[in-house]
Amino acid sequence: MYMPVLILLFVGMVEIARITYTYYAIQRILTGLARYVGTQQAVNFCDDNDASVVAAKSFALTGTPGGDASASGPLIVRGLTADLIRVRLERYDVNSQTLVECDCSETGCDASVGGTAPDFIVVYLPNGYTVRPAIPGVAVDPFPLRPRVRVPYGGT
Amino acid sequence: MLVILVPVIFGLMGFALDLGRLYLVRAELKTAANSMALAAATRLIGTDASTDAATTAGAQTIETATGFGNKYDFGGSTVGQTNGSLNSEVQSPTFFGAAADALGSGGGETSGSLAKYVRVTITGEAGLTFWRFLPLASAGKVNVIATAVAGVSAPLCQACSIEPLGVAALDATDGINFGFLPGTKYTLGYVCNGVNPNGPLPNTVGRLPYLILNHLDSNATVFPAEASQLLRIGVNGLLPSTDQTVACSRVGNTEQLWATATTANCTPGILSGAVTAMLCGIGLRFDSTPQGTCAGLADLDTIASLYPPDTTTDDFDDYASYTGTGRRVITIPIVDVLNASADMTVLGFRQFLLLPNSGAATINVADSNGRFAAMYVGSVKPLRQGSMSGCTQSAGPGKVVLHQ
């Protein structure tokens, strides 16, 4: 009589734990990525193919700087690929005394045209990482996990 | 039977869910604390005002106005604020002059001018789902504490983004200051040939000759003109590059004169265009409006608009009272001997505070001997980039690293 309830509790517990661990893993990955890319030299964040950005994403997502960070690669979190991750550049604006997004321009942070380094970077998943709890007999809609990390930029 | 089983089951489920959540919250708070500590430590430049600037910079990592600040508890709770039933508190950062004190359990806190390390402690409450039904955790939440310590590293052997103005050590055996006197105002003047009729600038005690060391980026694609490169180096230090010989200088390595920054006769003292370009860049640290002498330099107005000047142009007799952002603090290689035609060996790196000319708000970039005043300040400001490996230095600027 109690077995279905217990099984439901057990499976639900496992699923919540799995999602918690997934969030934890992604949060650690983003932290590692932010610190890695935030201490490099001559990074052009405005170029998705910049060698430092690609290496940082590969390192964070696969554990090796040259790892394949696409869906077919040895990903630490299944489905968490390089294209899901965005690096937001921020600069302190002395007039508004707030952090504002540093755009990809000459007066912004586009290093390829002379832009200077940002003050902070935020690494996040714009569309989140979608998870779907799998609980037999219970329909649960998928939902996105949206961890993010802001670190001071320490590169040049 | 059920009375016994329910607490056991809830306890076990708590291990699976609540403990996992606690680990997650701890990781998020630790990330927030690390970021705060790193941001704060970069502002510790050895001035009285630096701790206030550090506190402000640290707080920016958790600001929520943009929606991108660090949060905790599945990214749903704001660090340092109350969110419904869960509270979080950020203690005021504490500052220390020694890493051992910062890493210790108490004592040793210091004031702004002596602070080199910062400790950040964040407390956040994490909710409990199952353990709240047990007597030991009936409050339904528990405090999670994260601490981070950041500060200056060991002296750097390789320093990047510095100003390549080679100055010879006054005393090469003095591993701390190379014979320079902290707090003393010197005149830095470009090396010239013959007897120099121009002495030191007013209010300075002596003249330190300098040469511009060659870090030309021959592969530059952004502002590639040589004058533009010198201008950018003058205003913001060595250019970012993946080529370490361009972007950095290393203790023990040899440096050569920047090829076009040639020395001239002291009289009449006409500087090469390369030296003028560098000085124009240095002048932009005081005022973003270029001086007339700089007119005609490639990309002048564009470059001038990219780099904000310091927030103060005042002269200071005591570095601790300097209230600027650090833009006027330059880090230069100290070499064994100045030689315009041979190798110069880098002994270390030391820092000077640029000073305006007497009665002015900036340096005179048109000075016929490339003179400007600067106060020797030792190693006060952390560098953005560099490496600690490859040499043994008893003193010198470091970079900001996490110590805990």
Query: Between chains, do A150 and B61 touch, taking CB under 8 Å as contact?
Result: yes
From the list A13, A21, A41, the residue facing B240 with the nearest CB is A41
| A9/A143: higher pLDDT | A143
Q: Does A86 touch chain B (CB under 8 A)?
A: no
pLDDT of residue B18: 85
C-alpha distance from B79 to closest chain A C-alpha (Å): 13
Please state, in angstroms and rounded to a whole number, the distance separating the CA atoms of residues B339 and B342.
6
pLDDT in tens, B36-74: 999 999 999 999 999 999 999 999 999 988 889 999 999
- Indicate yes or no: CB of A31 within 8 angstroms of CB of B223: no
- Going by pLDDT thresholds of 50, 70 and 90, the confidence category of residue A114 is confident
* Cβ pair A13:B27 closer than 8 A: no
- Cβ contact (<8 Å) for B385 and A154? yes
What confidence tens digit (pLDDT) does each residue in B315-357 have? Answer: 999 999 999 999 999 999 999 999 999 999 999 999 999 999 9
Q: Which residues of A touch B127 (CB under 8 A)?
A: none
For A21-41, what is each residue's pLDDT tens digit? 999 999 999 999 999 999 988
Tokens of A46: 């405005």
With CB atoms and an 8 Å threshold, state whether B70 touches A148. yes
Label each residue of chain B as H, E or C: CHHHHHHHHHHHHHHHHHHHHHHHHHHHHHHHHHHHHHHHHCCCCCCCCHHHHHHHHHHHCCCCCCCCCCEECCCCEECCCCECCECEEECCCEEECCHHHHHCCCCCECCHHHCCEEEEEEEEEEECCCHHHCHHHCCCEEEEEEEEEEEECCCCCEEECCCCEEEECCCCCCCCCCCCCCCCEEEEEECEECCCCCCCCCCCCCEEEEEEECCCCCCCCCCCCHHHHHHHHHHHCCCCCCCHHHHEEECCCEECECCCCCCEECCCCCCCHHHHHHHHHHHCCCCCCCCHHHCCCCCHHHHHHHCCCCCCCCCCCCHHHCCCCCCCEEEEEEECCCCCCCCEEEEEEEEEEEECCCCCCCCCCCCCCCCEEEEEEECCCCECEEECCCCCCCCCCCEEEECC
pLDDT value of position B4: 81
Nearest residue in B to A109, CA atom: B306
Contact list in A for residue B401 (CB cut-off 8 A) is none
Averaged pLDDT, B273-292: 95
Q: Which of B23, B70, B161 sits opposite A149 (nearest CB)?
A: B70
Mutate to test the interface with B, among A5, A7, A13 (most CBs of B within 10 A): A13
In this predicted structure, the answer to whether residue A14 has a pLDDT above a threshold of 90 is no
**From the candidates B44, B66, B219, B401, which should be mutated to test the interface with A, based on the most A CB atoms within 10 A?**
B66
Give A139's pLDDT tier (boundaries 50, 70, 90): confident
Residue of A52, A100, A152 with shortest CB distance to B61: A152
Q: Does A93 touch chain B (CB under 8 A)?
A: no
Average pLDDT estimate for B171-189:
96
Question: How far away is chain A from the Cα of B266, in angstroms, using its nearest Cα?
Answer: 36
Mean pLDDT of chain B: 93
Question: Which residues of A fall within a CB distance of 8 Å from B302?
Answer: 106, 114
Contact B307 A98 (CB under 8 A): no
Kindly identify which residue of chain B lies nearest to residue A120, measuring between CA atoms. Answer: B61
Which of B65, B69, B75 comes nearest A146 by C-beta? B75
pLDDT tens digit string along B113-165?
A: 999 999 999 999 998 887 887 777 778 889 999 999 999 999 999 999 999 99
pLDDT tens per residue across span A27-85: 999 999 999 999 988 899 999 889 999 999 999 999 888 888 888 888 999 999 999 99
Verify whether the Cβ–Cβ distance B384 to A155 is below 8 Å: yes
